[in-house]
Structure 1
Amino acid sequence: MRVTRPMLALTGAVAALALAGCGSGGHEDGVPPTAAGSLEHLAAEARCEPNMQTDADTIRQALCGKGDEKYVLATFATDRGQREWLDTAKDYGGYYLVGRKWVAVGEEDTVTALRSTLGGTMEEGSEHMNPGGSHNRGGHHG
């Protein structure tokens, strides 16, 4: 992964969501290779000044965003911890951008736009909590 800008000095915390999975090494459909690294590194790549909410050994989570485009960014100590967190979180609906040991959660448009910077795989939460989501159209984001 190339580093294109210096790490930002973070005064807040970053909300990070992590989900097990890896992106492809190529640029399919304009999606860059999946980013990796610490919460601070991911936030810097996304040009976010994170507002830290949780800073524990197993998960670090912060809020990011500009204006109405807010999202949660989370990083996890293990792939298993990420998968368990994601399996529970998806019961509440929402849209999830998943990388290896990190997750971003937010509105569909916000998370889709973030994918052009961080790569990753799109996942969607439970259909009964996502009125009008792709589950209701019989489709699914890939």
Structure 2
Amino acid sequence: MKRAAIVGSLAVLPLLTACSGGGDKAAEEADPSNISAAPAAGVVAPAKVEVIASLTGCKAKIRIEADELRQGLCHTKEVDYLITTFPEEKYKKAWLDSAAIYGGKYLVGTRWVLSAKEPEMLERFRTKLGGTVQQLRGIGPAPSTP
């Protein structure tokens, strides 16, 4: 009985102590200056909508509950935002590829994405959650500069 408890504790330990799964190629390629040290973010992996919502000061209303993702809506006086979590990085990458059609800024972490109506709020959330702010281009011609 004790042995099962010890084995179970050891299985959970990496989840409690790791900020990211060392095999995330995107994280390895990310510019270190874009990654903040957010101690609270360590409890997010594996990503859960409810945990991320709590860290940002909200109680999320779950909108989508699917095998590939979970999505919660947060509504505050300052901003409305969506928290989307994924069971595997491949689902997050597919979601970002689809979202690229629309363009916009997103706060992206390991197996989660946060999108806000007010993109300037993403930096504030980044200090609490970690991750990187990514600009997705969208479809159509790039805006020209005079």
> In structure 1, the residue corresponding to 2:37 is in which secondary structure?
coil
Aligned partners of 1:58, 1:29: CA distance in 2, in Å? 27
Q: Please, what TM-score do these two structures have when normalized by structure 2?
A: 0.64
Kindly indicate which of the two structures has a greater share of residues assigned to helix: 2
In the TM superposition, 1:78-93 aligns within 5 A as 78-93=88-103
5+ residue gaps, structure 2: 1-15, 18-24
The yes-or-no answer on 1:52 pairing with 2:57 is no
Cα pair distance change 1:22/1:30, threshold 3 Å:
closer
Cα pair distance change 1:22/1:40, threshold 3 Å:
farther
The yes-or-no answer on 1:31 pairing with 2:36 is yes
Aligned partners of 2:120, 2:93: CA distance in 1, in Å? 23
Give the letter aligned to residue 37 of structure 2. P
Cα pair distance change 1:127/1:60, threshold 3 Å:
closer
Q: How many residues align?
A: 114
Aligned partners of 1:127, 1:57: CA distance in 2, in Å? 26
Match of 2:129 among 113, 118, 133: 118
Aligned partners of 1:28, 1:98: CA distance in 2, in Å? 15
> In structure 1, the residue corresponding to 2:90 is in which secondary structure?
helix
Q: Does the 8 Å contact 1:95/1:125 carry over to 2?
A: yes
5+ residue gaps, structure 1: 3-19, 130-134
> In structure 2, the residue corresponding to 1:92 is in which secondary structure?
coil
CA distances 1:65-106 after superposition (whole Å, capped 9, x unpaired)? 312411110000111011000111121122110011000012
> In structure 1, the residue corresponding to 2:120 is in which secondary structure?
helix
Q: Does the 8 Å contact 2:100/2:138 carry over to 1?
A: no
Aligned partners of 1:53, 1:137: CA distance in 2, in Å? 37
Q: Does the 8 Å contact 2:107/2:133 carry over to 1?
A: yes
Q: Please, what TM-score do these two structures have when normalized by structure 1?
A: 0.66
Q: Equivalent residue for 1:109?
A: 120
Q: Does the 8 Å contact 2:104/2:138 carry over to 1?
A: no
Cα deviation, residue 64, structure 1: 1.1
Tell me the percent identity.
28
Q: Equivalent residue for 1:13?
A: none
